[in-house]
Amino acid sequence: MSESLTVAILGATGAVGTRMIDQLEASAISVKKVKLLASARSAGEIRQFRGENVVVEETTPESFEGVDIVLSSAGGSVSKKFLPEAVKRGAVCVDNTSAFRMDPDVPLVIPEVNEQAMYKHHGIIANPNCSTIQMVVALAPIYQAYGLKQVIVSTYQAASGAGQSAWKELDAEAQAHLDGDKMDAQILPTKGEKKHYPLAFNLLPQIDVFEDDGYTHEEWKMIHETKKIMLDDMDAGDIKVTATCVRVPVAVGHGESVYFEVADQSATAKDIQAKLAAAPGVVLQDDPDHQIYPQPLLAEGKRDTFVGRVRPDLENAGAFNMWVVSDNLLKGAAWNAVQIAERLVADDLVRVPENSQL
Amino acid sequence: MSESLTVAILGATGAVGTRMIDQLEASAISVKKVKLLASARSAGEIRQFRGENVVVEETTPESFEGVDIVLSSAGGSVSKKFLPEAVKRGAVCVDNTSAFRMDPDVPLVIPEVNEQAMYKHHGIIANPNCSTIQMVVALAPIYQAYGLKQVIVSTYQAASGAGQSAWKELDAEAQAHLDGDKMDAQILPTKGEKKHYPLAFNLLPQIDVFEDDGYTHEEWKMIHETKKIMLDDMDAGDIKVTATCVRVPVAVGHGESVYFEVADQSATAKDIQAKLAAAPGVVLQDDPDHQIYPQPLLAEGKRDTFVGRVRPDLENAGAFNMWVVSDNLLKGAAWNAVQIAERLVADDLVRVPENSQL
């Protein structure tokens, strides 16, 4: 399919949506028309696409008539409501929310890792959670070469992962704190929760709501999405995964301290660095002698996942520590979604199979 | 020894030194006289102790004449130069630098954990590193009850751990960033290193210099100090420890994501929470239903170590995650040092053994 396409961006005015516009502009996709969809509140706003003004429209089921590809990032309930309507009208949807990620009929895709999962799509392809994507981009080449027995991750997640309003709140709190004023928290740790705490100059060990087992839903996502992506399409038994997710006063760019045990204990840190350096989507930044290691401020605006500080656990053979950073709004969201769309176009997959039920 | 004592604070104008003055004021120690010592640059400055002005003096070997207790926090080279001079003059020194920590003749003490190690001091007792102290305060009751096989820690360390100048730099950088100006980094990640990076709205996975094995010296400290403190005075074989230390844009209060495996696999998260709740110096803040968990902003100015988010690894029996926060300048430094001094006084240990060689 090489003709020009109509692409709709659902949630076009959000932190991820605005970056979806940028990433689509810079992509290889031949776009005939872009539709920018949002809630009634944002309808009428003007955005630019390739130099032309585009008016933001309120989303209705009819918005998807004639649309080939939907890029969706307006929240899980919006995706649940509208994506089946889009699929019904023949559009293929790349969904950045958690609405369909664990649905067995929905591929959960990181193109560098499991592009082949897209081939069996039924109209919706899910984009994994931001913190999952960058970890799995870094772990996949290690897993493919040496197998993985266990992963223990602690995250350092940026405010923008909770949306534009959380990012603005961080800036306002930081300014208030520097001025000696009280910080006013209304959004974080999680919109809709009973209690809110300041993030500026603080750490919040809660991202999303708590499950009954004491893990947050963000931690649950990292555990289960990682397995769905890596185990679905590779073949090396089970991987144990546990996670602690922490929000940190950073605007853009998640950090992750990842401890992992490989199955093949002959692997050295040098071997792993070589596999990472050769892996698609990974940039190895690992030179302690010259103080080279990944940092959020250096990753902002980049599409890659940056990995450094790869070193063996000195007392546990076959285990390693590494440090992973990526722009959570790009590889963690907008770029991964547009990248999926690029591959859908290249592989002639922009069509909804007949009798698709979702 | 219940008579009034002369206490010298070495490095009295630094971030930790100023808190040593506060903690000493609030302590049970009967202080006859306080001597505030610093470099020539700070000599002549005025500080308050229990309502009276005290002039900061330049440190010389003679400064320690007539001093009973020295609390030192002026850097490793200053401790190496002056503490033997103080001991020679009969003073017992509590040293907050890394100068003597791994010396087999120097007890490395957290009073809640291994107070008994103080009994064999030769004039110097070392205060562990800030990140080590809070982790070991939380792990010790677990270790005593269930044994420990392995500890994997990722730290979230505040700027003030690198001193007052790093803390000021964080504030200046944050203001510059909010104003849209370039951030000017001169201190972090580590004073004296070749390259400096901004910390505001960023993460720096380097604390202290790099060792040849790829670990930073901060990580080395966490590994080796933890073993010296816990294994010296308890008896349950070896503990494997690995660490990743990251500086985060927080002013005061370190966070730690601690993964640990106990030897006694019958232990449940509830058992561990009960041991933590009963442990000296620990406050359990662990109620996900009410969003109760430790946060640096809530720990600032407190002497305790706060622990929450205790939960089992869902796939690895006997392993758990927890989240630990403490004021790095208090329990991590000034309070632990003054607490050691209090115990030295209470246990009649404020005397240098004859023929002490250090």
pLDDT per position as a tens digit, A273-294 = 999 999 999 999 999 999 999 9
Cα–Cα dist A336/B45, whole Å? 57
Q: Is the ipTM of this complex over 0.90?
A: yes
**Which of A121, A122, A245, A254 is labelled catalytic?**
A254
Among candidate residues B274, B273, B279, B281, the one with its CA nearest the CA of residue B309: B273
* Residue A1 confidence class, pLDDT cut points 50, 70, 90: very low
Question: Could you give the residue ranges of the DSSP H alpha helices within A184-216?
Answer: none
State pLDDT tens for residues B282-338. Answer: 999 999 999 999 999 999 999 999 999 999 999 999 999 999 999 999 999 999 999
Flag if B291 and A194 touch (Cβ within 8 Å).
Answer: yes
State pLDDT tens for residues B162-191. Answer: 999 999 999 999 999 999 999 999 999 999
- Mutation site, B178, B217, B291, B323, interface A, largest A CB count within 10 A: B291
CA distances from A350 to A25, A32, B243, B284, B327 (A): 18, 15, 46, 53, 55
Please identify every residue of B annotated as catalytic: 130, 254
Cα–Cα dist B355/B122, whole Å? 9
Residue B5 has pLDDT above 90, yes or no: yes
Place of tokens 């400055």: B45
Cα–Cα dist B249/B309, whole Å? 22
Q: What is the pLDDT of residue A352?
A: 87
3-state secondary structure B35-84: EEEECCCCCCCEEEECCEEEECEECCHHHHCCCCEEEECCCHHHHHHHHH
Place of tokens 């003709």: A3
For chain A, positions 145-204, list CB contacts with chain B under 8 A: 150, 152, 154, 156, 171, 174-175, 178, 189, 193-195, 197-198, 201-204
Q: What is the pLDDT of residue A231?
A: 84
Token pair belonging to A19: 């970056």
Flag if A313 and B214 touch (Cβ within 8 Å).
Answer: no
Residue A339 has pLDDT above 60, yes or no: yes
**Longest C-alpha distance within chain A, in Å?**
62
Q: Is B325 on the interface with A (CB under 8 A)?
A: yes
Flag if B206 and A291 touch (Cβ within 8 Å).
Answer: yes
Residue A131 has pLDDT above 60, yes or no: yes
In the annotated binding site of B for substrate, the residues are: 157, 247
Residue A257 annotated as lining a ligand binding site = no
Averaged pLDDT, A35-42: 97
User: How does DSSP classify residue A247?
Assistant: E
Cα–Cα dist B336/B326, whole Å? 12
Cα–Cα dist A160/A15, whole Å? 7
Among candidate residues A70, A177, A62, A88, the one with its CA nearest the CA of residue A127: A70
Residue A111 has a CB neighbour count (10 Å cut-off) of 18
Residue A281 annotated as lining a ligand binding site = no
Residue A41's contacts (CB-CB under 8 Å, 6 or more residues apart) are none
Which candidate from B213, B250, B309 shows the least CB-CB separation from A202? B250
Per DSSP bridges, beta strands A319-326 and A254-262 are antiparallel
Token pair belonging to A244: 């602690």
Place of tokens 């605005």: A18
Per DSSP bridges, beta strands B69-72 and B124-126 are unpaired
Residue A123 has a CB neighbour count (10 Å cut-off) of 22
Q: Give the residue extent of every domain in chain B.
A: 5-99+333-346, 132-327
Inter-chain contacts counted by CB atoms under 8 A, chains A and B? 173
Residue A321's contacts (CB-CB under 8 Å, 6 or more residues apart) are A257, A258, A259, A309, A310, A311, A313, B242, B244
- Residue A251, min C-alpha distance to chain B (Å): 6
- Measured between beta carbons, the chain A residues lying within 8 angstroms of B315 are 240-242
Round the average pLDDT of chain A to a whole number and report it.
95
Round the average pLDDT of chain B to a whole number and report it.
95
* Residue A21 confidence class, pLDDT cut points 50, 70, 90: very high
Which candidate from A210, A249, A293 shows the least CB-CB separation from B250? A249
Token pair belonging to A234: 């590779």
Residue A305 host element (H or E)? strand A305-312
Rg, C-alpha atoms of chain B: 20
Residue B32 has a CB neighbour count (10 Å cut-off) of 11
Residue B251 has a CB neighbour count (10 Å cut-off) of 21
For chain A, positions 2-61, list CB contacts with chain B under 8 A: none
Question: Could you give the residue ranges of the DSSP H alpha helices within chain B?
Answer: 15-25, 76-88, 111-114, 130-146, 164-178, 217-232, 269-278, 296-299, 335-346
- Residue A82, min C-alpha distance to chain B (Å): 32
State pLDDT tens for residues B58-114. Answer: 999 999 999 999 999 999 999 999 999 999 999 999 999 999 999 999 999 999 999
In the annotated binding site of B for phosphate, the residues are: 101
State pLDDT tens for residues B7-28. Answer: 999 999 999 999 999 999 999 9
Residue B353 has pLDDT above 90, yes or no: no
Flag if A295 and B197 touch (Cβ within 8 Å).
Answer: yes
Determine whether A121 is an active site residue.
no
Cα–Cα dist B225/B164, whole Å? 24
Q: Is A296 on the interface with B (CB under 8 A)?
A: yes
Query: A160: nearest CA in chain B?
Result: B201
Query: A320: nearest CA in chain B?
Result: B242
Averaged pLDDT, A140-158: 97
- Mutation site, B153, B154, B173, interface A, largest A CB count within 10 A: B154
- Measured between beta carbons, the chain B residues lying within 8 angstroms of A159 are none
State pLDDT tens for residues A212-234. Answer: 999 999 999 999 999 999 985 44
The sheet with strand A305-312 has its strands ordered as A240-247, A148-157, A254-262, A319-326, A305-312, A282-284
* HSE-up (13 A, CA, CB side) for residue A79: 24
Flag if B309 and A205 touch (Cβ within 8 Å).
Answer: yes
Within its chain, how far is the Cα of A143 from the centroid? 20
Flag if B309 and A195 touch (Cβ within 8 Å).
Answer: no
CA distances from B126 to B76, B79, B85 (A): 11, 11, 16
Q: Is B212 on the interface with A (CB under 8 A)?
A: no
Within its chain, how far is the Cα of B289 from the centroid? 32
Which candidate from B152, B240, B323 shows the least CB-CB separation from A205? B323
**b/e sequence A57-77, b meaning 16+ C-beta within 10 Å:** bebeeebbeebbbbbbbbbee
Q: Is B220 on the interface with A (CB under 8 A)?
A: no
- Residue B135, min C-alpha distance to chain A (Å): 16
Cα–Cα dist A298/A327, whole Å? 9
Query: Does the domain at residues A132-327 carry the CATH identifier 3.30.360.10?
Result: yes
Cis peptide before A189 (omega within 30 of 0): yes
Q: What is the pLDDT of residue B1?
A: 46
Q: What is the pLDDT of residue A353?
A: 82
CATH number attached to the domain at B5-99+333-346: 3.40.50.720
Query: B308: nearest CA in chain A?
Result: A205
Which has the minimum average pLDDT: A300-309, B38-47, B214-223, B346-355? Answer: B346-355
Rounded to 10°, the helix A217-232/A130-146 angle is 40
